[in-house]
């Protein structure tokens, strides 16, 4: 039982350290905020719910089989 609790505790510590390292050294919240702002600037405000805001091509010029 003590071994199982020790392993769970060790995994908790490892995950905690990984979160701290990601948030402090790899940008964390600032990076996510910058990505969010970049995405908001990419799509004009009036086009947010517009059906053509996706990045998929509207016409691929490839033949399609009839349904």
Convert the pLDDT of each residue in 6-63 to its tens digit: 999 999 999 999 998 888 887 777 778 888 888 888 766 555 555 555 555 556 566 6
Q: Residue 48: its pLDDT value, please?
A: 56
The two structure tokens encoding residue 42: 């990419």
- In this prediction the pTM is 0.45
Q: CA 58 to CA 19: how far, in whole Å? A: 41
Quick one: the chain helix, strand, coil %, rounded to 5? Answer: 60, 0, 40
Residue 22 to residue 12: CA distance in whole angstroms: 15
Spell out the residues 6+ positions from residue 47 whose beta carbon is closer than 8 angstroms to its own: 53
């Amino acid at each position: 039982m003590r071994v199982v609790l020790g392993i769970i505790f060790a995994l908790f510590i490892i995950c905690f350290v990984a979160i701290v390292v990601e948030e402090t050294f790899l940008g964390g919240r600032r990076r996510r905020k910058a990505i969010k702002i970049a995405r908001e600037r990419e799509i004009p405000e009036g086009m947010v719910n517009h059906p053509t805001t996706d990045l998929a091509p509207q016409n691929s010029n490839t033949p399609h089989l009839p349904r």
